[in-house]
Structure 1
C-alpha cells in the first residue's frame, strides 16, 4: 500500500474520533506492551545482528526502557489527559480558563539506526498516549530490527500504527506529504532537510539531533568512579550513542591519574581484548567503520566483524576532523586544561551540544557550567543516566535539536495545548464596549 494511502486512512480514522478516548489509548498501549513481550526474542536477535548488541545491553538500553515507558504512560495517562484549570485575571471576572490537550492527528516518526528499537518506539508511545495515529519509518541501516518492527506492529490496524520500511526515497516521499506532526531522530544535516520539508506545510517538528557532547574531569572529581562511569557511557554500543561523551577535558593535576584509571576501567568492563568480548558491540556498517578508521588509523580493529577497540586519542588538534565532526564511535579525544573558564569558553564557541558531562565535587564549578554553557541536558558525576528517567524531559537545543520528550514531556510534545475560556452569562463587563462613558479610565485602572 502506498504511504499516501496509509496516511489518508489514518487521517480519516482520526477525524472520526476513535483515538481520542482514554479507552482507545489505554488499550493500544497495553496491546503494544503485550506484543513487544511476546516478540522480545525476535528483537534481541535482530539487535544482535544489526549492531552486535548482547542480550543484557539490548535489554538495558532498548527493550527494558520501552517497557518502563509504556508502564509510566499507562499509570499517568488519565491525569495527563485531564484539562488543566487555570486562573483568570480580574478583567475576566466570572470566566473560567482551561487548557485542553488536543492530539495533532497523524504523526510521522523517523527513527535512527543506533538504537533502532528504543528510538522508534519511545516517541511512538508518546504519540499514541496523546491520542494520535502513527506512521513509523525505521532506519534502513538496521534492517533486521526494521523488519521485526514491521512484522510485530502489523498486528495493529494500519489506521492506528503503520510501519513503512525503505530507504532515502521512502523517507523523502513521506516528508512530501502533509503530516500533522513530524518527530525525527538523526543527524543535524538530515534534521535541517526534515525541517525544510516540514516548513512547506507548516508542520510542527521535534528534532532530536546530535553534536559533540563535552566531558569535563576536574581535579576534585572522584577519579576512579569517574573513569568507570565514563567507560560505561562512552563505549556502550561501541560509542554509537547520540549523547555519548565526544571529547574529554581533564584538569592538569589529574590527567595522568584519570587516563590510567580510564584504561583500567576499559579493561575491567571489556577485558584485555575488547574485540572478542561478547558485551562489546560492532560498528553499524563499512562506511562508518572507514570513517572512524580515518580518525584513528592505528586503532585495533577486526575489519571482518566491523569492530574497533576503545581508543584514547591524546591532544588532537582542535581543527582536525575528529574535533570538528561528531565521532559516533569508540574514539575518545583527551585534552588537558588548567582553568575551568577556558573550557567554558571552548564549549561556548561551538555549536550547542546534546549533552554535557561534568565530574566534580564542587557546587561552585557545577553552577558555572550549568549557568554559563548551553546544552540539551547536563549530567553531573555520571554519563547517559539523565536520558533514562521519565521524570526529566530529554531533547536538544540549537544544532543539537529542538523540542523534548520522555514521560509527560512526550505527551505534551504530541499534544496541542488548546486554550479554552468559558465566559459567564450572569453579568457583562460593559466598560469594554466603545459606547461606555468611562471606558478609558476603567481600562487604565485595570491594565497597568
Structure 2
C-alpha cells in the first residue's frame, strides 16, 4: 500500500480545482512563508546550532537572510513574472496574438539536503509557490533538528491542501519517488541524483538536479598571497567546508604554494584563534558517517596545516594538504569538509588542462591581479558558476542563475529563475475564425506561386519560423 497516496491525492485534487493559480493565493502563501521565518527565527537558529554547530552569524547570512530576500523579491515581482510574454510575429501571424504563458506544472516534489537545510529547502519552495504549484517537501533526515522544525511548524503557515512535508530516510524517499510528480527538484550528491533521475524517467517527469563536484581554484603567481589566503580560507571553512560551491582544491605553482601556506596559517589563526576547536565560529561535521569519511581523507598527501580531529565532537580542524596525488581519494570525490588540497602545476596552461580533463564543476574560481589570466580561465573552461578573486559570492545574487552543468547538475534557480524553473512556458497563438481566403494559400493543390507567398509570409525580421 502506498503510504503517500492520500496526501498526494489531496494535493492533486486541490491543484485541479485551480485554487493555486490566482495571484492572490500565491501572494498569501509567500507572505505566510515570510511569517514562518520571522516568527521561528530563534527556533531555526537553535536547530542549525544543534545539527551543524552553525553560528548565529552564519545562520543569518547563509540561511535565513537569503531565504527572506528570495521571498521579498518574489512578492515584489510576482505580477510581472506572471504576465503573458508577447513575442515577435511573422507576416502570416500579424493579425494574431502570440505569447508565452507561464503555467504551474502541478504537483511538484522538492528533495532538500542537510548542509544548508533552510536555504536549500525554502529557496526552491519560494519558486514553486510563486509559480502556483502544489508542493511536497522532503527535508533531509540528516539535519534532524531542522527537519523537526520544518515538519512541525511550517505546515501551520501554509495551506495544507496545497502543501505537505514528508519525513523519512532513503527507503521512504524511494517509495515517494515511485509516485508520479509533475516536476522534481533535487539538491544533493551526483550518486543520489542519478537515482532520482532514473525514477523521474519512468514517468517522463521533468526535473532540476542541483548536484556538486570538485570546484577548482586557480591561484596565479601574480597575486597578493595574504588576500588570496583570507578569501580562500573563509569560503573553504565556512559551514565547516560543507558547501557544494566551496573551493575544493587549489591549483598553483610550487612557488605560489610556498607563499600561500604561511598566509593561510595566518588567516586560520586570525579567524578561528590558536585553538580552532574552541572557536564559536567554526562548525562541526553533521554526522558520524560523514566524519569517518573525512577522517580517511586526512590520510591523503601530507598535512601542512591542521589535521587534528575529535570524533566525540565531530570536529575536524581547518586542514591544508600538500603533495597530493591526483589518484588519491581526496582528489577523486567531493570533499564536503574543512580539508583543502593544494596541487602544484607549472603554469596556467597546465591548470586549464587539469580542470578540463575532469567533470564540469558547480563553481570555478580564479585569483590573479592580471585580468587577462582571469579571462583565459573563464574562456577555456566550463562550470555552473564562475567568480574571480573571491569565493561563492556569485550565488548570493538572485539576479544570477544558480545551477550546475554536466555532472554538477542541470537547470537553475534563484530569483526569477526559480519562478521560470517551476513554470511551464506554454506557447500560445490566438487566431480568429475569419480570413479563410487569405489562409487558403497553405492548402493543396500546391503551386510554385503559393510556395513563394507562404515562405515570404513565414519570415520574421530576425529569424525563420516553421509552419505548424
Normalization by structure 1: what TM-score? Answer: 0.97
| Partner Cα distance (1:86, 1:312) in 2 | 53
Residue 344 of structure 2 aligns with which residue? 336
Greater shift in the superposed pair: 210-219 or 220-229: 220-229
Secondary structure at the counterpart of residue 24 of structure 1: helix
1:223 to partner: Cα distance: 2.5
Q: Distance in 2 between matches of 1:328 and 1:75?
A: 35
Could you tell me which residue of structure 2 aligns to residue 440 of structure 1?
451
Residue 431 (structure 2) pairs with residue 429 (structure 1): no
1:45-444 equivalent positions in 2, closer than 5 A: 45-155=46-156, 156-297=158-299, 299-425=307-433, 427=435, 428-435=438-445, 437=447, 438-444=449-455
Deviations 1:342-385 (A, max 9, x none): 11111111111110011123222222222211111101111011
Q: Is the 8 A contact 1:88 1:97 kept in 2?
A: yes
Q: For 1:203 and 1:114, how far apart are their aligned partners in 2?
A: 26
Q: Do 1:275 and 1:302's aligned partners in 2 also have CA atoms closer than 8 Å?
A: no
CA distance in 1, matches of 2:147, 2:365: 32
Paired residue secondary structure (1:379) = strand
- In structure 2, the residue matched to 1:32 is 33
Measured at CA, do residues 445 and 59 of structure 1 come closer, stay the same or move farther in structure 2, by a change above 3 Å? closer
Gaps of 5+ in 1: none
Moved more, 360-369 or 392-401: 360-369
Q: Following superposition, which runs of at least 4 residues in structure 1 exceed 6 angstroms of deviation?
A: none
How many residue pairs get aligned? The number is 448
Query: Which sits farther off after the overlay, 159-168 or 289-298?
Result: 289-298
Conserved 8 A contact 1:275-1:301: no
Residues 444 and 39 from structure 1, CA distance in 2 versus in 1: closer, same or farther, beyond 3 angstroms?
A: closer
| RMSD (CA atoms) | 1.5
2:109 touches 2:135 (CA, 8 Å); kept in 1?
A: yes
- Conserved in 2, the CA contact under 8 Å of 1:98 and 1:419? yes
Equivalent residue of 2:159, what SS?
coil
Any unmatched runs of 5+ in structure 2? 459-463
- Tell me the distance in 2 between the aligned counterparts of 1:31 and 1:444: 53
Query: How far apart are the structure 2 equivalents of 1:200 and 1:151?
Result: 32
Partners of 1:172 and 1:340 in 2: CA distance: 45
Report what 2:23 is aligned to.
22
Q: Distance in 1 between matches of 2:455 and 2:154?
A: 60
CA distance change for structure 1 residues 446 and 82 in 2, over 3 Å: closer, same or farther? closer
